[in-house]
Amino acid sequence: MNAPTAQHAPEATVDALMYDLRERGLAALSIRTNQVRLAALSLEQIKNTIKRLDGLRARHPAITDDLLLTIDRCRHA
């Protein structure tokens, strides 16, 4: 996956990514569209996405430690 951008992605991009991540979990990151969406996020948006997903873990079993760690690695790419 590409390094995060310096600009913020549109909120619709974040929302679409959030939906797929909470429903599909780690498998969502193998979908090219989601890879592009994630690469479009700024560092701040990636941090917020991780925080939001973490808060949804109790209701969405697809959100795992592996998913959150994989997304976090994008911040350091």
pLDDT for 23-56, tens place per residue?
999 999 999 999 999 999 999 999 999 999 999 9
The answer to whether residue 3 sits within a structural domain is no
Q: How far apart are CA 34 and CA 55, in angstroms?
A: 20
Binning pLDDT at 50, 70 and 90, where does residue 60 land? very high
Query: Residue 34 has which token pair?
Result: 């989601």
User: What is the domain range of residue 26?
Assistant: 11-75
pLDDT above 60 (res 3): no
| Tokens 């479009």 sit on residue | 40
Task: Give SS3 for 39.
Answer: helix
The answer to whether residue 2 sits within a structural domain is no
Using an 8 Å Cβ cutoff, are 45 and 37 in contact?
A: no
Query: Residue 2 has which token pair?
Result: 């590409």
| Tokens 């430690």 sit on residue | 65
Number of domains in the chain: 1
